[in-house]
Amino acid sequence: MMSVMSLYTKWLDMCAAEPDLLEELSRIRDDRQAIEDRFYADLSFGTGGMRGVIGAGINRINLFTIRRAAAGLADWLSADPGSRGKPVVIAHDSRLFSARFARETALVLAGRGVRALLFDALRPVPVLSFAVRHLNAAAGVVITASHNPPQYNGFKVYGPDGAQLAPQAADIVTENIRRLDFEDCLPMEEKKARGQGLLVDIGRKEVDDAYTAMALRLMVRPEVVRALGGELSIVYTPLHGSGNVPVRRVLKEAGFGKVTVVPEQEMPDPAFPTVKAPNPEDPASFTLAIPLAEKTGATVIFGTDPDCDRLGVCVRDREGVFRTLTGNQIGCLLLHHILSEKKRMGLLPTDGAAAKSIVSSELARAICEDFGVTLFDVLTGFKFIGELIQQFEENGGHTFLFGFEESFGYLSGTNVRDKDAVNAALLTAEAACVCLHEGITLYERLQQIYQKYGFYSEAVLSRDYPGKQGAEQIRRIMQTLREAPPDRIAGLRVLAVRDYLIGRRNENGLVTDMGLPVSDVLFFELEQRHWFCIRPSGTEPKIKLYTAVSHRESMEKAQALGRRLTGAVLALLEG
C-alpha cells in the first residue's frame, strides 16, 4: 500500500474536478494527523456495507469510495453465475449527497455491464429489501447512514434474498474493492447507460403499491382497526427522512384517520436541523412531537430514522404522561400482541418461531415459552434474522412470526428481510387499537406483561474510540477481557463466558461449541440469569455495552440492580 503522504498527493490530483474535496485536502496540507486519519486505512466494508464521515480520503465516504464499492459489487455479481443478467436495485435516503451517490452507483454498475434499477426519489430500507425480491434482483444498495449524525453517509448492500449481504459474499466484495484502483471505477455516461437499458428509473407504481398491500396483509386484527382506527390519535415524525410517505400511506389505508405529522420534521433535510442525530432511539428525538401530541390529544407517537428501518415509540400512561419506550419494550409488546391475538383467533401455528438478537431482552423468551413458540437467538445484525427466515423457507420446520433487535428494529413478515419501521408502526398502532377496545393504554399493556412474566431492565451504552488510535484501543480492550475475564462483577458471580469470535462457551473450564457465525462479541452469563455483553460496533468506531437484569417484585428493584451492574461494567471497560 502507498504511504499516507503519497496517497494524499494522489488524491489532490484525483479531486481536481471536485472543488469541495479539493478544498478540504488543501486545508489540511500541514496537518499530518488530519491527513493520517483520512488515509491510514480503507473505510471498512462488512456485511452491512460501509459507513463513515463524509469527506476526502480512503477512510471517508465520498464520490470515489462510493464508486469503488459499486465496482467491487459489480465484479462480484459478474463472476457469480446465479447473478448474471439480473439487475441491482438502488435506493437512497435524505442524507447529504445520497441522491448523487445513488446515481453514481448506478452508473458504475452500468459501466461494468450490470443493469441498475434506480428509485426516482427517497425510499426506505424496507421498500428496497422488498424490491430486491419483488423484482428478482441480484442485489440491492441503499445510500444511507441510518441513524448516524448528519456528517455521515454510507453504502448498504443487500443480497438476492433481500437481506443484508452475507459474510461470505461481503468478504468477496471486500477483496474486489481492495484490488481496484480508484481511477478504474469510472461511471458510464448517463445518456449512454439509459440508451442501452443499463439504467432504468423505478417510479411510484412499480414497487410501492405491492409493498403497501403486503404490509397491510400483516395486520393481525384489521377488523378492530376498521372499527376504532378513526378514534386513535397518532403523532408521527419522520425526522427529516424517507419514512414520511410510506408510513403515512400505510396508516391511512389501514384506517387510521387521525395522524398528525410534526411539521418542522416532515420534509427531507440532510442537515437534520431539529435534532442532534436523527435517531428514534434517543428520547430527545421526540422533543417536538410530545407538545404536538399534547395539543392534538394523541395517545401514541411514532418516530422513524432517515432510512426508516428503526421505529421509536412514545405512549401515554393512565395519568396522561408520555413514556418513551425502549427497543426491548417495543419488541416485546409487538411479540405479545402478535402471539396473543393469533392465539385468541385460533391462528397461532404449532410450529411458530420468533427471533431476537443475543443482546435483546430475555423477556421475549418468557413470552414465547408461555405461548409455545420457539425463540431463536441470533448474532447482532438483522441479516441473521433474514438468514433464519431463509432457512425456514428452504428446510421447513418453523413458521416465522416475528423478529426484533433491541436497537429498535422489528419485522413480522417474510417479504422484507431487514428491519421494517413501516410494518412496525402499523402493528404498534393496531396494538394500541386493541388496547383502546379493552379500555386500557398501550403502556398499561406493558405493565400487564411485566406483572405476568417479571420485570426486566436492560441498558445499552457505547463508548467512542475514533481514529487509528481508537481502533487499536478497542482491540486491546477486547483482548484483555478475553485473556482475563472477571469472575465477579457488581457482586454477581460470572457463571460462563461466551466468546463468539471463537464460537465457544466456557463454563468453569467446560468448553462447548455454540454453532453460530464468528463475531467479535463477549457475552458474560451471571447468576440469577442476569448478563452483560461487550462488542465493537461493526459500522462505527465505538464499543457497545449491554446489561440486562430481571426481578420478580418490581421494576424499581430491577432498575437499581441494573444501574449497579452497568456502573461496574463501565468501570471494567475503562480500567
What does the pLDDT read at residue 539? Answer: 66
Going by C-beta distance under 8 Å and a sequence separation of 6 or more, which residues neighbour residue 396? Answer: none
Nearest to 140 by CA among 162, 121, 115: 162
CB atoms within 10 A of CB 261: 19
Q: How far apart are the first and last CA of the chain?
A: 35
pTM for the whole structure: 0.94
CA–CA distance, 511 with 498 (Å, rounded to integer): 9
Q: Which three cell numbers stand for residue 522?
A: 463477549
Dump strand ranges (E) for 161-320.
199-202, 233-237, 258-261, 300-304, 311-316
What does the pLDDT read at residue 252? Answer: 98
Low-confidence ranges of the chain (pLDDT < 50): none
What does the pLDDT read at residue 90? Answer: 98
Element (H, E) at 428: helix 421-438
Cα 518 vs. chain centroid, distance in angstroms? 19
Cα-based angle 282, 284, 289 (whole degrees, multiple of 5): 115
What does the pLDDT read at residue 92? Answer: 98
Residue whose C-alpha cell reads 424499581 in the numeric block: 556
Q: Quick check: do 41-206 and 210-453 share a fold?
A: yes
Report helix, strand or coil for 376: strand
| DSSP class of 189 | P
Report the amino acid identity of residue 62.
N
Cα 453 vs. chain centroid, distance in angstroms? 28
Q: What's the order of all strands across the beta sheet hosting 233-237?
A: 258-261, 233-237, 300-304, 311-316, 322-324
Please state which CATH number belongs to domain 455-574.
3.30.310
Nearest to 406 by CA among 479, 451, 459, 354: 459
Mark whether 233 is an active-site residue. no
Q: Does domain 210-453 have CATH number 3.40.50.800?
A: no
What does the pLDDT read at residue 518? Answer: 87
Say how many residues make up the chain: 575
Distances from the Cα of 174 to the Cα of 29, 42, 169, angstroms: 30, 10, 9
Report the amino acid identity of residue 471.
A
- Per residue, the 3-state secondary structure of 152-188, as one string, reads EEEEEEECCCCCECCHHHHHHHHHHHHHCCHHHCCCC
> How many Cα atoms within 13 Å fall on the side-chain side of residue 426?
29
CB distance 60 to 54 below 8 Å = yes
What's the CATH number of domain 41-206, 3.20.10.10, 3.30.70.1710, 3.40.120.10, 3.40.630.30? 3.40.120.10
What does the pLDDT read at residue 206? Answer: 84
Q: Write down the domain spans for the chain.
A: 1-38, 41-206, 210-453, 455-574
What does the pLDDT read at residue 6? Answer: 94
CA–CA distance, 269 with 252 (Å, rounded to integer): 24
Q: Exactly one of 146, 357, 360, 412 is catalytic; which is it?
A: 146
Q: What is the pLDDT of residues 364-415, one digit of tens each?
A: 999 999 999 999 999 988 999 999 999 999 998 899 999 999 999 999 999 9
